[in-house]
């Protein structure tokens, strides 16, 4: 638990934020392509903004709480905020939130957002470093 309270180096926080951002954009791009909605910038932005707001709130919460955003627990927080707020904002914006879509979002974003952090913890453990 104490390891989760440490602040990660600035480079680690920035790299983690970029990875999560790319994951959200990849999720949106794959979804739009799969459903033949096209990849025009305006369409991508329309679909992505609710999830990007959720992502920013999740990361903001970690930074305000001074939590290490590269831990698995932090991945759960960021993914939860991204999906929960993303879906809520989609409702407000009149976009769809079918139950299957919520499950796909949780599965995809959770697997990658928590997954890269879990992989980082495994590498740290093998190197004898702090387990995140």
Domain boundaries, the chain: 2-127
Residue-level pLDDT at 1: 45
pLDDT tens-place string over residues 61-91: 999 999 999 999 999 999 999 999 999 999 9
The model's confidence at residue 2, banded by pLDDT at 50, 70 and 90, is very low
**Contact of 55 with 21, CB cutoff 8 Å:** yes
Per-residue confidence (pLDDT) for residue 10, from 0 to 100: 85
Question: Is residue 105 a contact partner of residue 81, using CB atoms and an 8 Å limit?
Answer: no
Phi, psi of 129 (to 5 degrees): -85, -175
Share of the chain above pLDDT 70, in %: 91
Mean pLDDT over all residues of the chain?
Answer: 90
Give long-range contacts, CB 8 A cutoff, 24+ apart: 86-89: 86/50, 86/51, 86/53, 86/54, 86/55, 87/50, 88/50, 89/49, 89/50, 89/53, 89/54
Whole-prediction pTM: 0.88
Q: Give the pLDDT confidence score for residue 131 in this predicted structure.
A: 57
Burial of 103 (0-12, 13-18, 19+ CB in 10 A): exposed
């Amino acid at each position: 638990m104490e390891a989760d309270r440490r602040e990660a180096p600035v480079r680690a926080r920035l790299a983690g934020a970029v990875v999560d951002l790319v994951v959200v954009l990849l999720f949106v791009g794959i979804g739009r392509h799969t459903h033949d909605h096209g990849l025009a910038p305006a369409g991508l932005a329309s679909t992505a903004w609710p999830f990007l707001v959720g992502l920013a709130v999740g990361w903001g919460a970690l930074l305000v709480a001074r939590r290490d955003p590269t831990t698995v627990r932090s991945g759960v927080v960021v993914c939860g905020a991204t999906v929960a707020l993303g879906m809520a904002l989609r409702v407000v914006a009149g976009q769809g939130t079918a139950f299957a879509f919520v499950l796909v979002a949780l599965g995809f974003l959770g697997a990658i957002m928590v997954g890269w952090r879990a992989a980082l913890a495994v590498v740290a453990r093998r190197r004898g470093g702090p387990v995140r």
